Amino acid sequence: MSQQSCWERMKAASPVEYLLHALASCLTTSMVYHAAARGIHIEQVESSFEGDLDLHGFLDLDPKVRKGYQGISVLFKIKANVPDDQWQEIVQLGTKHSPVFDPLTHGVAVSVAAERG
């Protein structure tokens, strides 16, 4: 029997995969809602999200490697019967209005505390 890493044995999404799911749903929702508010009809949206993650950072094997994603790639396939300038506007609506995209790309202070249970 071959050994599997703990990541391979997991049956559910990992926390970093949940981050991609949150980003995907928020970008898509922001894009669709803001397009609708502008009278732009989107027929269909497909998306692909990938994150570059080096476990050497997470496992503290290399202090030069980030603990989280090195980068995230997003590809949208959008079906909408609109001119090119309006199509570009659709693409930008998600990133402009997403409350998940904003802290990922601009950073946000996070306060951590602990109490005895």
pLDDT surpassing 70 at residue 36: yes
Q: How far apart are CA 55 and CA 59, in angstroms?
A: 6
Tell me, what's the pLDDT at 7?
56
* Domains along the chain with CATH numbers: 18-103 (3.30.300.20)
* Whole-number Cα distances in Å, 36 to 29, 30, 43, 76, 107: 11, 10, 11, 17, 29
Tell me, what's the pLDDT at 57?
93
Tens of pLDDT, residues 74-83: 999 999 999 9
Tens of pLDDT, residues 88-102: 889 899 999 999 999
% of the chain with per-residue pLDDT over 90: 75
What confidence category does residue 14 fall into, taking pLDDT thresholds of 50, 70 and 90? confident
DSSP 41: P
Better-scored residue on pLDDT, 8 or 90: 90
Nearest to 45 by CA among 59, 60, 58, 35: 35
